[in-house]
Amino acid sequence: MSSSRSRISRRGFNALLGGAALGAGLLPSWVTRTGHAQNAGAPMRFLAVRTPHGADRDTWIPRPMAGGEPPSTDMALGELSFEYTDSVLGPMTPWKDKITVLDGLDTQVSKEKTRADRRDYHGHNEQGALLTGAQPPADRDSGNFDNHPSLDFFLHSRLSSPALLTASVEGSGTWKCMSYDERGRPRDPEPDPRELFRQAFPADFRPPTTGGTPQVDFSAGEELIHGYSESALMRLRQRLVGTERDKIDKHLDAMARLAAQSGGMSGGPVGMCMTSGMDTPTRDGNVRNVAGVEEITRAHTKVIAQAFACGRSRVATLQILNDYPNWFTDLPDVQTPYIMGHYPPGFRFHENLVHDYWGASGNDRVEMRKAYCAGLRWSGTHFAAVLDELDKMADPLDPMGGSILQNTIVFWHNEFGHEGHDNQETRHPSVIAGGGGRVLKLGRYLRLRNIQSQERVPHNKLLTSICLAMGLNDVNYFGDRDLTGRANYQGPLLPLMT
């Protein structure tokens, strides 16, 4: 038994090195040190949320009450307003002190094309670049990000928790994913909250506050059981070479890391977690009608919050629709008299309205903006619902009694930026929420550059900022391996850091 323990322990250590090695090809600076907890408070979690259709920066930023541009590049949101004609971020008004709006962030990586099989122009396929920080593939259908994992996968590899949660409201597609594995392959999101719950919680998971009977220490038994499968894996490994042996190494490391997590395998005590493995949500993943989008958004987020609270997960992504589902056209605010007269019944929100908006002028543009922004504002209500669900859940691991939201970095972004045209890599609409302002500022409007200039602020810097906020203080760059030496890609977004 002791040898088994020793083997697992060593493998657990190797697994941590594996996390470093994972980054080693991308980020040599990660190799030197492993991450460590940020502080003695609650563990920080991470949730990335994506909504579709881009945004017109003119209607997306907060503005002074009197209108016009925010007079300063770094302002309290309390001094600005989301309430003006066609404002998109209206639903964020109640959350002003818990979010920071980033203006002038660019997914510049999608323009670099340092490798022949990469793509250097914009389009829906740059979505994968958002969390991988890597150049998108020329063949978008492959969805292959060339051995660049997404931020969620990387964080999960560095932080201690059993489940990496990847959810969507309606499906995505090969080139519309958020999450990418270690090889840069897209990971299918789970559209059904019931299945997401099952991934987060085993059926026999019991909250530590129920039952009342003393806990039996199963750790020795667990080690024996997993020692058996580990031995079998090692025997198979001896028969393999190359990529097949790599498969077994990944398997071994993943299992060893689970075994090393206190409470992970056995569903042991975690603070005041209140969720049982039988508390499966009732909502399925079929949207059915326009109201279903928020229903599923809330159901997914509740599962994520429960998993965060019970130590079952620290990292998740949630994609709320993509450009194809057409529920937006069912919104009364989108069905303006102008729009209904301009388009046939059942028009496409993206291919018709969104694209037409960018080419329109005069009154057409005014009317189309009204409907376009109404759709985006609806997406804003979904993000507000995410914040609401996270805020409603008390964090049992927070000694200060905070909510899950206060201990979760939430990154809300759109599938596109824009520059007078949709589907562009510039001015990516981005909001940071949660995290309690411990490392990333909250309640701020931050203009990161001269919006009218050709200056670019690579969003990789934001990804690095998030790594730092998650306690990975050794990370100085996150993204494409070919850009590790570019000074403008290095380091965090300083204006965002406390």
Partner 1 sequence: MMYRWVTPGLTLGLALALALGACSGDIERSAAPNGGDPFVPGLGGKLGPNGTGGSGGPGSTPGTGPGGGPVGTDSDDPRIAQRIWRLSSEQFNAEIERLFGAGAPAVKIPETAAEAGITNIAENALVDLGNASVFADGVRAIASWVVMQKNTTTRCTNYGMEPCVDSFLAWFPKAAFRRPVTSAEIAELRGLFDQLRGTYDYDYSFGGVVRAVLLSPDFLYRSELGGAEPMVLSNNEIANLLAFSITDHAPDADLLKAAEMGDLTDPDQREAQARRLMLKSETAWQRFFWEWLEMHTLESQGAEVGLDAALVAQMHEEYRKFVREVIITEKGTLRDVLSAPYTWVQPELAEHYGVDHPGTGLMKVELDPGERGGILTQGAWLVAHGKKGRDNVVRRGMNIFRQAMCNNSLAPPAGLDVQAELKKLVGPDATVREIVDARGSAAACGGCHRVADPVGMLFESFGSDGKWQTTDVAGHPVDTEVDVMGLGLYDSARAYAHALADDMAFQRCFVQRFTHFLAGIDLGSPEMVAWTQQAHERLLETDLSLEELLVSLVRHPAFIERRTEAGP
* Residue 460 in the binding site for partner 1 (CB under 8 A): no
* Binding status of residue 345 toward partner 1 by CB under 8 A: yes
Candidates 71, 332, 344, 362: give the one binding partner 1 (CB under 8 A).
Answer: 344
Least distance from partner 1 to the Cβ atom of residue 416, Å: 12
Q: How far is CA 435 from the centre of its chain?
A: 14
Q: What six digits make up the tokens of 36?
A: 């460590």
Q: Minimum distance between the CB of residue 336 and partner 1, rounded to whole angstroms?
A: 16
**Residue 470: what residue type?**
M
Interaction mask 269-298, partner 1, x per CB under 8 A: --------x--------xxxx---------
* HSE toward the beta carbon, residue 285, CA cutoff 13 A: 20
**125 in contact with partner 1 (CB under 8 A):** yes
Does residue 486 belong to the site contacting partner 1 (CB under 8 A)?
Answer: no
Position 225 contacts partner 1 (CB under 8 A):
yes
- Options 221, 262, 366, 400; binder of partner 1; rule CB under 8 A: 221
From the CB of 321, what's the least distance to partner 1, in Å? 10
Residues 154-183 that bind partner 1 (CB under 8 A): 156-157, 162-164, 166, 170-171, 173-174, 177, 179, 181-182
Whole-number Å distance between alpha carbons of 232 and 293: 45
Q: Which is nearer to partner 1, 62 or 137 (CB)?
A: 137
244 binds partner 1 (CB under 8 A): yes
- 35 binding partner 1? (CB under 8 A): no
- Rounded to an integer, what is the distance from CA 498 to the centroid of its chain? 21
Which residue, 143, 55, 109, is CA-closest to 377? Answer: 55
Note whether 352 binds partner 1 by CB under 8 A. Answer: yes
CB-based contacts of 327: which residues, under 8 Å, 6+ apart? Answer: 287, 289, 290, 293, 321
Told to check if 199 binds partner 1 by CB under 8 A, we report yes
Q: Tokens 């994913």, residue?
A: 177
Q: Return the residue of 359, 400, 450, 455 that touches partner 1, per CB under 8 A.
A: 359
226 touching partner 1, by CB under 8 A: yes
CB-based contacts of 211-218 (< 8 A; 24+ apart in sequence): 215/268, 215/269, 218/266
Q: Is 115 in the site for partner 1 (CB under 8 A)?
A: no
Least distance to partner 1 from the beta carbon of 442, Å?
30
For position 476 contacting partner 1 by CB under 8 A, the verdict is: no
Contacts with partner 1 in 396-425 (CB under 8 A)? Answer: 421-423
- Is 14 a binder of partner 1 (CB under 8 A)? no
Say if residues 12 and 282 touch (Cβ distance below 8 Å).
Answer: no
Kindly state the smallest distance separating residue 199's Cβ from partner 1, in Å.
6
Q: Closer CB to partner 1, residue 26 or residue 75?
A: 26
Helices (H), 289-361: 290-309, 337-342, 355-359
Neighbours of 121 (CB within 10 A): 14
Q: Of 64-72, 151-159, 295-303, 373-381, which part binds partner 1 (CB under 8 A)?
A: 151-159
How, if at all, do strands 408-414 and 444-447 pair? unpaired
Single out the segment in contact with partner 1 by CB under 8 A; choices: 268-276, 295-303, 339-347, 380-388: 339-347
Please give the distance of CA 27 from its chain centroid, rounded to a whole number: 20
Choose between 69 and 351: whose C-beta lies nearer to partner 1: 351
The total of other beta-carbon atoms located within 10 Å of residue 486's CB is 17
Query: For residue 111, what is the DSSP state?
Result: G
The alpha-helical segments, DSSP class H, found in 210-268 are 219-238, 242-260
